Amino acid sequence: MDENMTLTAQDVADILRIAKNTVYELVKRGELNHYKVGRKMRFTRPDVDSYIASSRSATRQSDESTAGTQTQAPAKDQGFIICGKDSMLDVLTGYLGRRSEVDRPPLRAYVGSYAGLTSLYYGEVQAATVHLWDGDTNRYNVPFVRRLLPGVPAVIIHLTKRVQGLYVAAGNPRGVQTWSDLRHGSLTLINREKGAGSRVLLDEQLRLMKISGRIIPGYDREVLSHISAAGVVGKGEADVGVGDMKAASMVEGVDFVPLQNEQFDLVVRKEDFETPVVQAILSVLRSREFREQFQHMKGYDITDMGKVLAET
């Protein structure tokens, strides 16, 4: 099946061998990405593949937890695992699968930045993508890598700069302009899950303004992706959501208020840096063919893609 083919909810139900209503429930829970054409819900094959891979990862983690091995390194035959949710990583793993020096494509774990780093610390994964902003230093990622990987030398590789901000209804009827518009408690929020980079950004901004998220209606309502957050705003179920620019362009009825440029980076253990798979990742990221797929994507700046930013 052509991965660019538009899929209906029934198509997805047939692929997954589930009821059509279950597809809608997965969307509602933020587990399955989608977009709208008019009032119709549509999907792509990468959306479905991402859900399948995420479900496999969740099942594996659940099995490990039940067996009392949650903090142990995975079996060696599981392969190389990359944490992160951006679709860029799906494209990257596809490229790696065609490299002769890579035995098999890396597996994907669809978890947020904070959980990815802690999994890297415990040896459960081999690479984690992060976009975590530290409000005290106004720096991305390095402060968190040092805190969450104590005693573990790591290398930070740049993927892209993205634009973070607030999703609002088309036309921005509430006149949202800055983070401080949240301080009055008059806007209903759709939030991201704890540990997501967008959630950390919001919480850091609230901390610097010395206000509690508890005063914001909807602060405790969470979804698991940028697309889902934008979708809730587009349906009129919230006034604002936090996320990146790309998702806003994919959801009908949503505008975007850009507030901050962020770094989206890949973190690996230094001991793994010279391995064939990490070197293949660097080669792909620096290749013209790969970069061309993202150079015109709205909200992405790939100028320094593949650059080693820091060692900790």
Q: Is residue 272 part of a domain?
A: no
In single-letter form, the type of residue at position 288 comes to R
209 lies in which domain range? 164-261
More confident residue, 10 or 130: 130
Number of helices (H), then strands (E), in the chain:
11, 14
What confidence score (pLDDT) does residue 55 get? Answer: 61
Q: Count Cβ atoms below 10 Å from residue 249 Cβ, excluding itself.
A: 14
Q: CATH code at 20?
A: 1.10.1660
Residue 93 and residue 106 in contact, taking contact as beta carbons nearer than 8 Å: yes
**C-alpha Rg value of the chain to the nearest Å:** 19
Residue 33 and residue 49 in contact, taking contact as beta carbons nearer than 8 Å: no
Q: Is residue 91 part of a domain?
A: no
Residue 265 and residue 131 in contact, taking contact as beta carbons nearer than 8 Å: yes
Per residue in 98-120, pLDDT tens?
Answer: 898 998 888 888 889 999 999 99
pLDDT more than 70, % of the chain? 89
Q: Is residue 14 part of a domain?
A: yes
Q: Is residue 223 part of a domain?
A: yes
Mean pLDDT of 228-234: 94
E runs forming strands in the chain: 35-37, 40-42, 81-83, 107-109, 127-130, 133-134, 139-140, 154-169, 189-192, 222-223, 240-244, 254-269, 300-301, 308-311
Nearest to 157 by CA among 273, 9, 32: 273
Per residue in 18-48, pLDDT tens?
Answer: 767 778 878 877 788 887 777 778 888 777 8
Mean pLDDT, the chain, rounded, equals 87
Distance CA 131, CA 226 (A): 13
Query: Domain total for the chain?
Result: 2
Residue 254 and residue 167 in contact, taking contact as beta carbons nearer than 8 Å: yes
| Residue after which a domain boundary falls, among 216, 237, 261 | 261
| Residue after which a domain boundary falls, among 236, 261, 286 | 261
Q: CATH code at 238?
A: 3.40.190.10
Q: Is residue 145 part of a domain?
A: no
Instruction: Report CA 123 to chain centroid distance, whole Å.
Output: 20
271, burial (CB in 10 Å: exposed 0-12, middle 13-18, buried 19+): exposed
